[in-house]
Amino acid sequence: MSNQRKSLVTKEIVWQAMIDAFKKFNPRLMVKNPVMFVVEIGFVITLILSVMPNAFGGESNAFYNSIVSVILFVTILFANFAEALAEGRGKAQADSLKKSKQDMTANLLQKNGVIKVVNSTELRKGDIVIVTTNELIPSDGEIIEGVASVDESAITGESAPVIKEAGGDFSSVTGGTRVVSDRITVRVTADPGESFLDRMISMVEGAKRQKTPNELALHTLLVSLTFIFLIVCTTLLPIASYVNVVIPVATLVALLVCLIPTTIGGLLSAIGIAGMDRVTQYNVIAMSGKAVEAAGDINTIILDKTGTITYGNRMASEFVAVGGSKQEELYRAALHSSLHDETPEGRSIVELAKKMGVPESEWHISGTEGVEFKAETRMSGINFSDGRVVRKGAVDAIKAYVIERGGQVPNDLDTTANRMAKEGGTPLAVVDGTQVLGVIYLKDTVKAGMRERFEELRRMGIRTVMCTGDNPLTAATIAREAGVDDFIAEAKPEDKIAVIRKEQAEGKLVAMSGDGTNDAPALAQADVGLAMNSGTIAAKEAANMVDLDSDPTKIIEVVAIGKQLLMTRGALTTFSIANDIAKYFAIIPAMLMVAIPQMQALNIMQLATPQSAILSALLFNAIIIPLLIPLAMKGVTYKPMSATKLLSRNLFIYGLGGIIAPFIGIKLLDMLLVVVGLQ
């Protein structure tokens, strides 16, 4: 996955961000960030005072006003630069994706069977197109016929082509990808402008990002604090006049700017945009910032077993006859039950049966009807024209099927199936008519490092639940080996929804990953649904995140990034508010100690003059924003720990640090101003 991650910034992005930072001075844009808009108003006021010192009545120092004006300008510029820099990566990624949207032609299959070459923009939902070797797939769609190797590097960045085929969970294709070999027939599933690529472009463009509920709440807090301090500073002028204390307007503006939370106000948008961008670096497209933020609060993760916890390549490794049946009969029935099964498991059963010596005449039988696997029946098989019926499926489903039709269940069926299940395999019973012939042993293995990853989630306080259609013994074996907290065996789509709703009813947030149509309802129900790009259109439509690499375990990275986003926002908010404490000790005494000598006791930093105290605090307020941009972009280092420990750690590092840093910084700046003679 690390090979997918790209550098946070490039020279081009930085240069463009510098240009955009000046463009953002437009009041119509600035008003969207009330905190920085107030700073901009302060800048305009001090700029006027620099040219006309007596513009607002009273005496004022034009040089002092100019310095305050310049510092406020730089403060706004740095805040704008932080947001523009965060937006820059999203726009750069969007531009690279737009290159994939080139004018393409499509081989449209008309109702009369004639193929007509048309522009891809003329395609509509439901149209059928033919795509052959080296041709671009003109639009999002589902393969309805054929198998092909598809190069998806334009979307995922992965050079290795993937196999796409009709039926199953790997039938969806994305417009702009290229067919490397073979020929496929595709049914178009998106109108122009509604394709997955179109949605990806709009998703990664940071400027279009909507604020999340948590961010909106913090935004409301910042606006409230700004409004409160605006009232405080406005009332200071008449109060000071009443006690014969003259406060220059530029000083009042400086006080207001230092009191309001400008640091977090300037970095808030950058933090949110960068959070979505970090998800994108892992080749995950988030439909909204809300999804990333919700990932940070996840309490429970629902994971499929096959392909997520295990490698998913369950291959037939053994046929075991039961009830006195002959091995040859079992081989033949297993082959027949899988002739219409295009899944990897089905193909492996056919291959194993061939290796066991089933005659070639049994491989191709006409006049048969395939019965697809259904979650409700948990069986699949074949119907012959002479009335013969062969099925394979979950052992309990086959037992119920046989008993319902008056057949007998062999005594050694459960013993054989349980042995396979205890070994971590998946037993599939085979029935010909009403006679159970034996069991197919499918093997699957847990992915390397899964136990360690689940242990990491446990340290985060996240509960993991494995869902599988396997029998309880198999599920228990895999769950024990993988180290998940709980499991649900013989799970149907409604079971996944039920467990998600149960967790949500207890006030928990739930994440789930999936790729099949049967996963779509649960993906939609989950607070964070991560769909695989290789999966079905239904799954991708239902989810609020799509993994371009189709790695179901990436949900773990998504959760970590979500927590990092919340941590970063909380840490910088703590730091910003803590900063103000030191600024109070710099500006308040400076404003009043000439008229009220007793205020000198609060000048604990021993700042040289009232002017240098105010300018030092204002300079620190401006400089701290660019210094924190790398932290806002990269995020606070996240370590799995409980919420209580996390809060204590943040308060100690960023709370205490936010108090100490300004005392040191303001004092050093004061000394510098004395040296250069600006005190």
Question: Known binding site: residues?
Answer: 341, 345, 373-380, 392, 515, 519
H/E segment holding residue 429? strand 426-432
**How far, in Å, CA of 395 to CA of 416, rounded?**
10
To 10 degrees, what angle do helices 555-592 and 657-676 make? 50
Q: Counting Cβ atoms within 10 Å, is residue 368 exposed (0-12), middle (13-18) or buried (19+)?
A: middle
**How far, in Å, CA of 199 to CA of 533, rounded?**
13
Give me the catalytic one of 140, 198, 277, 304.
304
Residues of the binding site for ATP: 341, 345, 373-380, 392
> What is the four-CA torsion angle of 49, 54, 57, 58, rounded to 10 degrees?
110
Residue 62 phi, psi dihedral angles, 5° rounding: -60, -40
Cβ atoms 425, 442 nearer than 8 A: yes
- 277 is annotated as an active-site residue: no
Q: Position 459: which residue type? A: R
**How far, in Å, CA of 574 to CA of 650, rounded?**
8
Q: Answer positive or negative: Cα dihedral of 585, 589, 591, 592.
A: positive
Cβ atoms 264, 474 nearer than 8 A: no
| DSSP string for residues in 477-530 | HHHHHHT-SEEESS--HHHHHHHHHHHHHTT--EEEEE-SGGGHHHHHHSSEEE
| DSSP string for residues in 638-656 | P----HHHHHHHHIIIIII
H/E segment holding residue 320? strand 315-321
Cβ atoms 266, 478 nearer than 8 A: no
H/E segment holding residue 368? strand 368-371
Residues of the binding site for Mg(2+): 515, 519
Task: Name the residues annotated as catalytic.
Answer: 304
